[in-house]
Amino acid sequence: MHSCAPTSRKPLPKHKATLPYSSLSPDMFPIIEIDQQSGFCFGVINAVKHAEEELKKDDKELYCLGDIVHNNQEVDRLQAKGMQTIDYEAFKKLEGKRVLFRAHGEAPAIYQMARERNIELVDATCPVVLALQKKVRRKFAELHPVGGQIVIYGKKGHAEVNGLVGQTEGKAIIVQTPEDIEQIDFTRPIALFSQTTQSLTGFHELIDTLRSRMIGDARFDFQDSICRQVSNRMPHIQEFSSQHELTFFVAGGKSSNGKVLFSYCQKGNERSIFVSSPDEITPEMLTPLPKSIGICGATSTPMWQMEQVASRVRELLGMPEPEAIDQ
C-alpha cells in the first residue's frame, strides 16, 4: 500500500464565484474517492523528508539543485519553509553552502564540482536511480573499449536521464522517439537501459525493435531498470478511472510521469480532466453532474493537493466536508 508524504496541508484558496449546485439535496451528492495508491513515490517521499529534516536542523541556508519535485505547489510549500531552488548556473557559483540533490540523481561531474567547491551535500537520490547509475557506469566501462554503445530509453533533458548520460562521459544515445533509433550503429554491441519512470510497454517494444535490427554477430542486451512502484500505477490508474463517471488527475505541468499516467487515466475514462491546482476546477467541469468522481495523481503529486481538489469539488457542489475520524 502506498503511503503519502507526512507533510502539512496548505490552506485551501477561497473562492467567491456563485455556485450553481448549492441547492443540491444530499441524495444527489456524488461519491468522491481519492486514489490511495496515487501520490508521492518512495524516492520523492525520501527527498521531501530530507529537505524538511535539514530545514528543522538549523538556520543554515538549504539550496535544492532543480525542483525537488515537478509540482509547483509542493516546491512553493518547501520554499516557504526556507529552501531555495537553484539552477546549475547558480550552483557553479556556490562555495561552502548546503545543497540537496533530489531523487532524480546527478552526473559524476556535478559531484566533482560539489567537492571542489566544498559543498555540504544532502544526497536524496532515489536508491533505484543510484543502482541504475552504477549499472550504466559498469556497462559503459565494459563496452566502450570495444566500440559498444549505451542506449537509454527516456526523455531528453530530464534530470534523471542527464544523470545517466553523465555515467557514460556524455556518449550514451537517448531514444525518445522512433527517429532517435537511427543514431544507433547496429553493427556494434548495444546495451539498452531505461529511465526508471518510462512505460514498460514502450520499453519492451523498443527491445523488440532493436533486437530485430541487429546486424551480424553484434551483441544486444538490455536491463529492465523501470521502477515497478511507478509502472504498476499505469494499469491501476486506468482501472481506477474506469470506476468513476468523472476523474480529476492532479499533477504539475512539468511532470513527465504525470503526462504518462494521465494518458492511462484517459484510457479508463474519456471524461478525465488534468488539473494542477484546485483553482482550475470550474462548475462547467462538473456538468453533467456525475454520480461518482475519482481523484488521482502522479508520483510528484502530494496527497494534500488531491485532498484540496476534493474540497474544491465539495465546495462547488455545496457538499459538507467529511468529519474527521478519530484514529
Return the residue matching grid coordinates 536542523: 57
Alpha carbon separation from 319 to 26, 57, 176, 206, 213 (Å, rounded): 8, 41, 45, 48, 59
Instruction: Point out the residues that are catalytic.
Output: 160
Q: Please provide residue 118's backbone torsions phi and psi, each rounded to the nearest 5 degrees.
A: 55, 40
The whole-angstrom separation of Cα 296 and Cα 294 is 7
Strands 190-194 and 173-175: unpaired
As given in the structure block, the three cell numbers for residue 121 are 551535500
Q: Please provide residue 133's backbone torsions phi and psi, each rounded to the nearest 5 degrees.
A: -55, -45
Distance of CA 162 to the CA centre of its chain: 15
What is the length of the chain?
Answer: 327
Q: Judge contact between 292 and 30, C-beta under 8 A.
A: yes
- 324: region left, alpha or beta (phi > 0 left; psi from -120 to 50 alpha): beta
Q: Please provide residue 281's backbone torsions phi and psi, each rounded to the nearest 5 degrees.
A: -80, 125
* Cis peptide bond prior to 278, omega within 30° of 0: no
As given in the structure block, the three cell numbers for residue 234 are 499505469
Return the residue matching grid coordinates 482550475: 280
- 244: region left, alpha or beta (phi > 0 left; psi from -120 to 50 alpha): beta
